[in-house]
Amino acid sequence: MDLQTVKNLQYNYTSIYRINKCEAYSHVYIASVDVVIELFKTKFMPILLYGSDACPVGPQQLRSLNHVVVSYGRKMFNVNTSEIAAGCLKMFRVCDVAEAMATR
């Protein structure tokens, strides 16, 4: 990976962290799960996909980004395991990163 690609990935992770902090946690206690999911699908996922479109992403980076999505799902649904969080995300029609990038 060249230096520009590393900087783009770092910017992508920083943007995800900022979105996670400001969007989700400010609404989690006052909004329903449906509203938080809709914010996740309309704000968080497009920024994640835009950042990954800007630079080439390999399979390892896709797994890492998918882990971020599932971890966020664990916080949203207040569950302990990644499998349950992934199932809840599928139930609310949130696709994983590889599927979302393939359909873009």
> Long-range contacts: 46-52, Cβ < 8 Å, 24+?
47/15, 47/16, 47/19, 48/12, 48/16, 48/97, 49/97, 49/100, 49/101, 49/104, 51/8, 51/9, 51/11, 51/12, 51/15, 51/16, 52/12, 52/97, 52/101
Query: With 60 as the cut, is the pLDDT of residue 22 above it?
Result: no
Condensed to tens digits (0 to 9), the pLDDT of residues 25-65 reads 554 456 677 788 888 888 888 887 877 777 778 888 888 88
Per-residue pLDDT band at 83 (split at 50, 70, 90): very high
pLDDT score, position 38: 85
Dist CA 78 CA 86 (whole Å): 12
Per-residue pLDDT band at 16 (split at 50, 70, 90): low
